[in-house]
Chain A
Amino acid sequence: MDNVLKYRIIRIKMKQINYLKTGRKWGKRGEDMLVDFWAILIFAVIILLFFILFATTKSGSNKTLTEFDGKDANFMLDSFLRAPVPSEDKTVAEIIVEESAVDGGKFDRTGKLFEEFFKRTNTMNSIDINDIHLEIKGYNSGSMNIVKDKGAGSFGKYSLISSGAATEKSYSATTTIPGYTGNIQITLRLSQLPLVGVNVAGTSTNPTNGAGSTGGAQAPVLKQGH
């Protein structure tokens, strides 16, 4: 090896040894570490604050889209209650009122109308509804009690996705109509996946991740089996 290079390596090593052995240097290094510690701590706190701010803002912006899904449930309930009953000069709401008083809360006609009305809600493959759930509450002994509850058990054909899916959401709409003996409260619940952009081959993309960026879509295809 070249003498110059040897000398250079020895010199660097000596400096390192001196640096470690000198008490004064040790002391200074300790101070530096102390200063660095506070800098790191402040930096970590700032990062944490940024993340908290960012997380709060994100949840706020998503709220707008969730409200739209809730409005769909309102529209569906409204549409169902004001729907005219075939061959009768009545609406579904009037049938519910009649059945709550006359038939002792059996709601057989309401059940049939409910099934008929929501029969093809899952016609297209963009919105997958797990369950459409109608709950009728009426006054009984001064308090609201469930009179009729029709859920997935009666309408299994809507259960296209295994229940408990990670992205499943539930929306509900409630309204009160006057009955013969008191108010009747009607609640419509939808368990569905949030509306998504339809992607190639029917797979869906999460809107929060930017459905647009995933690109292509499939032409809508009628679902079979309804």
Chain B
Amino acid sequence: MNTISDRRMGKRQKKLGNKGQAPLFFLENAFRIGFLMVALLAFFLLVNMYISNKMDTNRLEAEVLANRIIYSDTIMYQDAKTSRIYPGIVDMDRFDEGILNTNIDYQNKRHIAANITLINNQNGAIVGDIYLNKQQYAELNILTMQKSTGKGSATHYIKNYPVTYKNTNGYDYGTLVIDIIVPNS
């Protein structure tokens, strides 16, 4: 014969039994839930990988500037009669900081900067040394020399080009070193 307390216990057990089905449901569907989580994660990861809204253009900027210097009449020799430019032959009369900054005049002075050095091939002496955006170069160079890292710092891109330049004795062979410094952000 059931007592009142037994009947109460039965009701309580029944309720508990219904609740106990939840873990069973999770056990039964653990694989599906896990798979769903992986699928969702993979979906978002792949979409993020495929849609790239952030690009590192630092090197591209450096390359464009280097090409602008070596292929334009900024420091290269230009025939006065034909206006033909001779890339690879440096005109020392034009190897001047003022001319460089006038010809390549970027509106944003707080960005790219460069140091152009011409070295004599025979003795290694520096024939000329000019800067594009000198103030910015100095500021960024200090950061890099202090081994500063991250977005607040900058990266050097150095390119060497064998060239001919005209000096007082005639033509001589040299190496044009273009050291471009680009802020990381």
Interface residue ranges, A against B (CB under 8 Å): 3-4, 7-8, 11-12, 15-16, 36, 39-40, 43, 47, 50, 53-54, 57, 64-65, 68, 71-72, 75-76, 78-80, 82-84, 86-87, 116-127, 195, 197-198, 200, 207, 210-220, 222, 226
Count B-side interface residues using an 8 Å CB cutoff: 68
Does B141 sit at the interface, judged by CB under 8 A?
A: yes
Residues of chain A within 8 A (CB-CB) of B39 are 43
Closest chain-A Cβ to B162's Cβ sits at a distance in Å of 5
**Which of B121, B159, B171, B181 lies in contact with A217, CB distance below 8 A?**
B181
Cα(A76)–Cα(B161), bound, Å: 7
Contact yes or no, A216 B149, CB < 8 A:
yes
25 A-B pairs within 8 Å (CB atoms) are namely A16-B24, A39-B35, A43-B35, A50-B46, A65-B59, A65-B63, A68-B63, A75-B71, A75-B161, A78-B87, A84-B89, A116-B122, A117-B162, A120-B121, A121-B162, A195-B63, A197-B59, A198-B158, A210-B56, A211-B58, A214-B155, A216-B153, A217-B156, A218-B144, A219-B156
Residues of chain A within 8 A (CB-CB) of B63 are 65, 68, 195
Contact yes or no, B162 A219, CB < 8 A:
no
Residues of chain A within 8 A (CB-CB) of B158 are 124-127, 198, 220
Beyond A11-B20, A36-B32, A72-B159, whether A216 also contacts B143 by CB under 8 A is yes
Contact yes or no, A211 B175, CB < 8 A:
no
Query: Can you list, as one digit per residue, whether each of B34-50 has a CB less than 8 Å from chain A (1) or not (0)?
Result: 01000100100010011
Beyond A86-B171, A211-B56, whether A53 also contacts B67 by CB under 8 A is no
B59-114 interface with A by 8 A CB criterion = 59-60, 63, 67, 70-71, 86-89
**Which of A36, A123, A210 lies in contact with B160, CB distance below 8 A?**
A123
Query: Can you list, as one digit per residue, whether each of B158-185 has a CB less than 8 Å from chain A (1) or not (0)?
Result: 1111111000001111110101011011
Beyond A4-B12, A11-B17, whether A124 also contacts B179 by CB under 8 A is yes
Residue picked from B13, B42, B86, B158, most chain A C-beta under 10 Å: B158
Contact yes or no, B60 A4, CB < 8 A:
no
**Which of A47, A57, A215, A219 lies in contact with B150, CB distance below 8 A?**
A215
Main secondary structure of the interface of A (DSSP, over half): helix
Main secondary structure of the interface of B (DSSP, over half): mixed
**Which of B160, B170, B184 lies in contact with A213, CB distance below 8 A?**
B184
Closest to B10 in A: A7
Does B16 sit at the interface, judged by CB under 8 A?
A: yes
